[in-house]
Each structure stands twice: as structure tokens, then as C-alpha cells.
Amino acid sequence: MSSELRVEHLRKVFSVGNPPVEKAAIDTVSFTVAAGEIVVLLGPSGCGKTTTLRCVAGLEHPTSGRIVIGGTAYTDPAAGVLVPPRSRNLGMVFQSYAVWPHMTVRQNVAYPLRARKTPRAEQARAVQEALDLVELAAYADRPVTQLSGGQMQRVALARAMVYHPQILLLDEPLSNLDAQLRLRLRDDLRRIIKRAGLTALYVTHDQTEAVVLGDRIGVMRDGKLLQLDTPREIYNRPADLFVAGFTGATNVIDGSVRGSRDGFAVIEARSGEILLARHGSGLHDGAAAKVALRPDNIAFEPATPGPNRFTARVASQHYQGTQTVYELDVLGTTLEAMEVGSAARWEVGAQVTIGLPPELCWSYGG
């Protein structure tokens, strides 16, 4: 039976260096994963996402805070509560397949049930259900070493789900697969978890993976949870400049705030030109500002009139077959723009009109 997960004011401090200095790997992180929900922790290496997952698993001991699963506290240092991993009834899927090479597929999946001394008839039924779920029933009696990488990761997933854990924990489970297998299993993984009705906490540094898999995404940096929201909100209303940049808004325009218009911040760029952008945090009239936007949100030769129309010079062109990436000199800086199509429309040196949709530009205190 899947359960709700609550992480409350979690903090994990390590001592590093000589002389030792305390460093917070997790810095007062709080979030809730509803029963049956998939939450993805997204961020760069060293941001604290895997340490958070390991604290939920009981593999790391947090300095302070609480971890509550299904209404029961499993970790609470202040109260002297620290339930060992084996008693938490959690499933875990690692980066490596971690399958037993001397066993068949069926034996690998059945192992957790045998360890729990589950009756044989119940074992057989549960293993068959798990193999059907991951579409490996036809491979049940095959040695696991004869499977592809993607199939072995499905075995690991079936093994983690077969005893119906309260929470399923997944630590970058697709990172060791080649690109084609990763895409195929990524698309299947959400469907499998949802069909099993499991609560899942998933860790990755891959933005596309997070969007495909998560009901909600939590973006982390330096041990802090910066924003936790739906993929749509994370991508269309990033909370700060880091979240915007990490999720693809790699263009940044420096400027200063010159009031507001029609609900948007009015930003004067270094070039003296004016653009409109969504209001972000830390903005007031006269303050320095940074405007972030995605390369694919820049429109070439927009057909309809409106604000944020500028003339740009094509500084470079990078043809990529199905799309072309351009570097544009505009607004006193260089912006990267992407246009889909099998032919490049603009040559280096060309002057082109571009549109920056105000609702897709985000302004933050600079």
C-alpha cells in the first residue's frame, strides 16, 4: 500500500577539510509527496538531491528534521527515532542494475519475497504481476545476464515493486543506459509506476527526464529546495534565475527596472532599448535586473505586431539537421535562438527582426 511521504525541515551537515568545517549537504528542506504521486528532485551534482533520498531510505542519518511515512515518523533525531532501512518497507532502484547475475529473471524478482518468507503461492502470484507490469513475463526463466541493459533495469524495477513498498525511491536509474534505451524506458517508467499505484521519489539531473516522469518537480541547489511545483509551472514560472537557467532559460539580458506596464516589468537593456518581462523577485523601480528566456521562445520575423520587437544581427549559425541554432547580437548582448526546420533561413551577418514574447521572459533582481 503506497503512503504519503513528509520531509520536514531536514538538515544534513558534514565536516569537511582540515581543520574541519561544517557544510550543509541538505539545508532545512521540507516537502510532501502525496500517496500515489511521483515527485522528482532535480539539480546539478552536489546539490543534495541524492543525500535527501538516502535520508528517506535510512542510508544516511540526518542532523535534524523529520521523515514521516504514512503518518509514522521513521527519522526524528530530536526524539531519538531512527528506523533502520530494512524496517522501512521501501523499494529502491539504483543507477547500477544491481541484479544478481547467477539468477534468472524470476529468481531476481522473487528474492525480496523469499527474504520475507512469503508463502510460495503468494510469491508466484506477486512475481507474475510484477513481470507483467514491466513487460518481462516472457523472459521470466532466462538468465538475467542474457538481457539488455534496459531489460535488466526493468528487472531491478520489478524487484523493487514486487512487495508493494510504501515508497519507491529511484536514484538516477536511467543514467547508465545508452541514449536510445534511456528514452524508451523513460517513457515507460511513469506508466509502470502509475499502474502500480506507488508513491515515488525520483532523483535526476536531466531536465527532460524530470518533466516526463514527475507530477511535481523540486529544483535543488546547494542543499536548498528552491522551487517545488508542477512541470508546467517550473518551466513557465521559474522562481529565480537559477531555476530558469537550469530548466533551459539560458539567455540572460542585463538591464534596470523602469516601472511597469500592462502587468509586466519594464526593463531598459544595456542598449537603451525597452522590453517587457514578467515580474520576478527582488525587483523595484531603478533596481538592476536580469531577464531570462529560452532560445526556443525567440520568434523570427513575428507575423503579429506587439511589444519586444527588435532588430538583431546574426553573429553565427550552427546547422543541426532538424534545427538551426543562431547567435544574435541584440539588446547590447548576444542571445542564442533556435529555429526548427531542415534548412537554415538566416546567414551570418543578416539583419533579422525577432520577437521576445513578454509572457515568456522572466525578470529577476540583478
pLDDT in tens, the chain (366 residues): 689 999 999 999 988 777 778 889 999 999 999 999 999 999 999 999 999 999 999 999 999 999 999 999 999 999 999 999 999 999 999 888 888 999 999 999 999 999 999 999 999 999 999 999 999 999 999 999 999 888 999 999 999 999 999 999 999 998 878 777 788 888 889 999 999 999 999 999 999 999 999 999 999 999 999 999 999 999 988 999 999 999 999 999 999 999 988 889 999 999 999 999 998 766 788 889 999 999 999 999 998 888 999 999 999 999 999 999 999 999 999 999 999 999 999 999 999 999 999 999 999 987
Nearest alpha carbon to residue 46 among 205, 240, 272: 205
H/E/C letters for each residue in 291-357?
EEECHHHCEECCCCCCCCEEEEEEEEEEECCCEEEEEEEECCEEEEEEEECCCCCCCCCCEEEEECC
Which residue ranges does the chain devote to CATH 2.40.50.140?
Answer: 249-365
Q: What's the confidence (pLDDT) of residue 282?
A: 67
pTM: 0.90
Return the amino acid letter for 120. R
Q: What's the confidence (pLDDT) of residue 300?
A: 95
What is the dihedral sign for C-alpha 96, 100, 105, 110?
negative
At the fourth CATH level, the homologous superfamily of domain 249-365 is: Nucleic acid-binding proteins (2.40.50.140)
Residues 243, 258: Cα–Cα separation, whole Å:
24
Residue 255 corresponds to which cell in the numbers above? 538591464
Segment holding 129, helix H or strand E = helix 120-133
- Highest CATH level, class, for 5-241: alpha beta
Q: Are the C-beta atoms of 157 and 93 separated by less than 8 Å?
A: yes
Q: Is 185 helix (H, G, I), strand (E, B) or coil?
A: helix
Which residue ranges does the chain devote to CATH 3.40.50.300?
Answer: 5-241
Residue 332 corresponds to which cell in the numbers above? 547590447
Residues 363, 275: Cα–Cα separation, whole Å:
10
Residues 255, 363: Cα–Cα separation, whole Å:
10
DSSP states along 17-50: TTTTEEEEEEEEEEEEE-TT-EEEEE--TTSSHH
Q: What's the confidence (pLDDT) of residue 166?
A: 95
Q: What's the confidence (pLDDT) of residue 17?
A: 73
